[in-house]
Amino acid sequence: MLHQLKIWSAVVLIAVLTCTPLAVANGDPMTITKFTQDSVITDQHLINDCNGEEVVLNGTMHFELTTGIDADGDRTLYDLDSTTRLLGEGMTTHVRYVSVDKIHQHDVTHGGQSSNTRSSTKFRLVAQGPVPDLISRVTMHTVINRNGTILVQRENEKISCR
Amino acid sequence: MFHSSKLVAVLGTLLLAAAASAQNQPTTYIYDAYVDNQTTVNTCSAGENVNLNGTIRFSYQVTTDSTGNHFVIKAASNLTGVGQTTGVNYTAVESNEYDSDTMDSSKDMTVELKSDLTPQGATPSMTLVQDLHITADTNGSITAEVVSNDTSCGGAN
């Protein structure tokens, strides 16, 4: 079943952990900056296509972003770790689902460009008891700019139970 | 440090650059990376090392318009594994797509390929998470390697 679920996590990173001038990555002196951000996922609905049950998800997304900019500002590194923690509940059976999903991505751009990528991925919502797990296949569209702003959009999500 | 994963070398072969068939169809470039006795650990149940073998096929297209270059890279794995303690056979078959829109003429990215690592005769309950370092350019050159192999247990970790 095709289930369109779009979650915009449009966040301005509020926590700048460290800024290290002239760190070196691949022989290129760079200014390294680390950011963190947490956002909340509230009442996302999807359908378990095995039994037609509606499942409601709540949880959090945690981002750890490292950017590196070289001395002349031409080369920018983006290194993003995101952790999504979800708890779900079946609206009919009240079965509970749990998922902890981690994604790492690393991108290099030139000329001060943002990182603009799409990655397809899958994650598993583990069901309590004998109910089948739910498998989500989704495209994550991620745009990150040099000041640490992250935009994440979940696109074309497909849910199955096998 | 930007990239802490250990580097696991793979052998690769640039197989072909398929000719554009007709009328503005972008060329598809194909590259096979061979996974040769790379190890991951089943952290979900048996706690054993699993030796992986097989291929990951990378194919990509790049198109250019007024907004820049658009890279579309696909990775398709076809792997088998053998548990070093139990002797259990595993399989992992998956394909993912990674796109990037950029003004750059080359792309340097590290992405994840997640696949079910399925023990023989059992229901998949474990995910093989492979970090793939990919470079590609507008001229059809591509390099790719597996830089790490880890497992994830879904909601259990």
Of B3, B99, B102, the CB nearest to A118: B99
The model's pLDDT over B75-122, given as tens digits with 9 standing for 90+, comes to 999 999 999 988 889 999 999 999 999 999 999 999 999 998 888 877
Contacts of residue A108 in chain B, CB cutoff 8 Å?
108-109
The model's pLDDT over A45-56, given as tens digits with 9 standing for 90+, comes to 988 887 888 999
Distance CA A125, CA B87 (A): 29
Q: How far is CA B127 from CA A116, A135, A140, B77, in A?
A: 26, 11, 18, 13
R_g of chain B computed on alpha carbons = 17
Contacts of residue B144 in chain A, CB cutoff 8 Å?
none
Instruction: For residue A92, count CB atoms less than 10 angstroms from its CB and return exposed for 0-12, middle for 13-18, buried for 19 or more.
Output: exposed
ipTM field: 0.79
Q: How far is A1 from chain B (nearest CA, A)?
A: 19
Per-residue pLDDT at B99: 96
Q: Is B142:B135 a contact under the CB 8 Å cutoff?
A: yes
* Secondary structure (3-state) at A96: strand
The model's pTM: 0.82
Q: Mutate which of A76, A87, A122 to disrupt the B interface (most B C-beta within 10 Å)? A: A122
User: Is pLDDT above 50 for B23?
Assistant: yes
The proportion of chain A whose per-residue pLDDT surpasses 90, expressed as a percent, equals 44
User: Is pLDDT above 90 for B10?
Assistant: no
